[in-house]
Amino acid sequence: MAVYVGARDLAGNLAFIGTHQFLVIMPDSGSVPPAVLPSGKIIFPKNLGNEKLGYVIGAQNRGRLVVEYFEKSDYIAT
């Protein structure tokens, strides 16, 4: 399983300050199973390009850091 650290400019008015990092997880081959979170929520893999499926995971500041799968800006940067 390949795990990559991605980076993009910060979104919005803070874009000039720094970057935001996120993880991209791509299983090596075969079918990609859905991820089951401790809360019971099921996250399905999405197309990452070049016929690869996987997950994009980042921590977003929503008043406090919150883990988000496939946050729009992270997913587009992937």
Tally the domains of the chain: 1
pLDDT over threshold 70, residue 15: no
Residue range 17-37, pLDDT digits in tens: 788 899 999 988 777 889 999
What is the pTM for the complete model shown? 0.83
Residue range 33-73, pLDDT digits in tens: 899 999 999 999 999 988 889 999 999 888 899 999 999 99
Range of the domain at 35: 2-77
Spatial CB neighbours of 31, under 8 Å, sequence gap ≥ 6: none
The DSSP secondary-structure symbol of 14 reads G
Which residue in 68, 56, 6 sits closest to 26, CA to CA?
Answer: 56
